[in-house]
Amino acid sequence: NLATVSSSLQPTSRMVLLKSFNINGFVFYTNLNSKKGEALKNNSQVALNFYWKSMQRQVCIEGKAKIISRQEADKYFDSRPKKSRISAWASKQSFELKNREELENRLTKYKKKFEGLKIPRPKNWSGFIVEPQLIEFWQKMPSRLHDRTQFVKVNYDWISRKLYP
Q: Give the amino acid at 87.
A: S
Angle made by CA atoms 16, 130, 97, in degrees to the nearest 5:
35
pLDDT of residue 139: 97
pLDDT of residue 76: 97
pLDDT of residue 49: 98
Task: Give the dihedral of Cα atoms 90, 93, 96, 98; nearest 10 deg.
Answer: 30
Containing H/E element for 21? strand 20-22
Which of these, 119, 100, 101, lies nearest to 110 by C-alpha position? 119
pLDDT, tens digit, for every residue of 95-147?
Answer: 999 999 999 999 999 999 999 999 999 999 999 999 999 999 999 999 999 99
Cα distance between residue 67 and residue 52, in whole Å:
27
Strand partners, 141: none
Tell me the backbone φ, ψ of residue 106, rounded to 5 degrees. Answer: -65, -40
Q: Catalytic residues, which ones?
A: 144
pLDDT, tens digit, for every residue of 39-59?
Answer: 999 999 999 999 999 999 999
Task: Give the dihedral of Cα atoms 93, 98, 104, 105; nearest 10 deg.
Answer: -110
pLDDT of residue 148: 98
Residue positions counted in the chain: 165
pTM metric for this prediction: 0.91
- Is residue 19 within 8 A of residue 79, CB to CB? The reply is no
pLDDT of residue 50: 97
